[in-house]
Amino acid sequence: MRVAIAGAGNVGRSIAGELIENGHQVLLIDRDPRSIKTETVPEAEWLLADACELSSLEEAEIDSCDVAIAATGDDKVNLVVSLLAKTEFGVPRTVARVNHPKNEWLFNEVWGVDVAVSTPRLMSALVEEAVSVGDLVRLLTFHEGEANLVEMTLPESSPQVGVRVGDITWPGDVVLVAVIRDGHARPPDPDSTLETGDELLFVTAQDYERELAEMLSPRGEVRNVPGTGAVRS
């Protein structure tokens, strides 16, 4: 997979390093000569250019990329890069960094953003996850806000403990995508059973989060916790 990253700062370089380790081809783009530090990620392609310019994206051959990541520290730049990548070059998937939470509402399909990544939201969700067992935590919101990535650490009291995955009927369009056990992620096996402490990752529409939470950890009334996306009783 070929990935273009606009923004070669600490965030962009870190993403590039991870992707290269996973076998992907990466192009880092930045208009600041001070950010072109080829020795930090020598396996990546580097381009000194303004990613907000059509000519720069043409030079980068971004239309050949599978993913475009807007990872600069400027929300306006990240929105423009996402919009150009999606509408002018038809990049299949765009991921944009949200620097300021007040701007999060802008990062949607109108601006060509498929996935918006907000560090404050992720940190809040992870803190919530760290201190909560049996609470449904919303980690990411996908395209148009129609689907969310949610997580729950299965409590001992869950009625699903000991039940075969293949025997469970999830509500609506809920999809169990991974089970994390003993620190290792694995795809859901229909013949395996769920255990106390399993971290379950789901993709689901927001409308089914309440029902899913009740199914996994029924404790009476369930409500959304403002600001974190968590669901708890």
Give the gyration radius of the chain's Cα atoms.
20
Q: Out of 3.30.70.1450, 1.10.10.10, 3.30.360.10, 3.30.70.2660, which CATH number does the structure's domain 122-232 have?
A: 3.30.70.1450
| pLDDT score, position 178 | 93
Instruction: Compute CA distances 104 → 68, 195, 229, whole Å.
Output: 18, 36, 14
- List own/partner pairs for 167-174 with CB under 8 A and 24 or more apart: 168/194, 170/202, 170/212, 170/215, 171/208, 171/211, 171/212, 171/215, 172/204, 172/205, 172/207, 172/208, 172/211, 173/204, 173/205, 173/208, 174/202, 174/203, 174/204, 174/205, 174/208, 174/212
111, HSE (Cβ side, Cα atoms, 13 Å): 22
Share of the chain above pLDDT 90, in %: 67
pLDDT tens-digit map of 135-148: 788 777 775 567 88
Say what percent of the chain tops pLDDT 70. Answer: 86
Q: What is the pLDDT of residue 96?
A: 95
Which SS3 state, helix, strand or coil, does residue 160 take? coil
State the average pLDDT over residues 59-76.
96
Q: What is the mean pLDDT of residues 90-119?
A: 91
- Residue 129 in this model has a pLDDT that exceeds 70: no
* Whole-number pLDDT of residue 147: 85
pLDDT at res. 130: 52
- Average pLDDT on 151-171 reads 93
What class does CATH assign to 2-113?
alpha beta
Residue 2 in contact with residue 93, Cβ under 8 Å?
no
- Tell me the per-residue pLDDT of 189-230, one tens digit each, with 9 for 90 and over: 999 999 999 999 999 988 899 899 999 988 644 444 333 344
Sign of the torsion angle spanned by Cα atoms 226, 228, 232, 233: negative
- Among 30, 2, 20, 14, CA closest to 93: 2
Task: For the chain, give every domain's residue range.
Answer: 2-113, 122-232
Give mean pLDDT, residues 168-189: 91
Q: Is 2-113's fold the same as 122-232's? A: no
